[in-house]
Amino acid sequence: MKVRLNSLKYGKQVISASLGENELDIADLDLSTPVAVMLNIDRGSTEIKIDGKVESSARFDCDRCLVNFSMQIGGTFAIIATYSDSDLKLDDENIIQLSPMANEIDLTAYIHDTLLLSVPMKILCREDCQGICPICGANHNKTECQCTFAEPDARWDSLKKLTINITEDK
């Protein structure tokens, strides 16, 4: 998504857009809805502040029960685009140095990264997901299985006693 600088008025304004999966080049996500982008832009004489909000929903497989489900993803980002380099640290990735001849700001990478960073490390269909049985593969969220779990190997009992003694000392 590119914002044309010559179409921006001085002062505050809001721009909303809807982006497709092909516009963002997100192969890692299976988006089920278009990406809604809302930009709050404040244009001054030497800098442009952009606060963006990104929302969509994507399809995932649960890490515990392997059920395919849809989940809302999204987040926010903030950028400062400046024509001058006075008192700003230009090594900050959220500050863009603009040349006087610049006609647009490309926000595609910021939208892309915001979506990817909003995906949790552990993807669960619901917080109390019970997972699947390691023996028969039954989904414990839908049914209870009659599998019996084998007793742990007796060779590990010495280590269990060791951890009990450590916790009792505290």
Residue 103 reports pLDDT greater than 60:
yes
| CA dist., res. 31 & res. 116, Å (int) | 11
pTM (whole model) above 0.85: no
| CA dist., res. 108 & res. 82, Å (int) | 18
Buried-state track 12-47, b at ≥16 Cβ within 10 A, e below 16: eeeeeeebebeebebeebebeeebebebebebeeeb
Give the model confidence (pLDDT) of 15-74 as tens digits: 898 887 777 777 778 888 889 999 999 988 888 899 999 999 999 999 999 999 999 999
Which pLDDT score is estimated for 164?
59
| Helix boundaries (H) for 13-156 | 21-24, 108-117
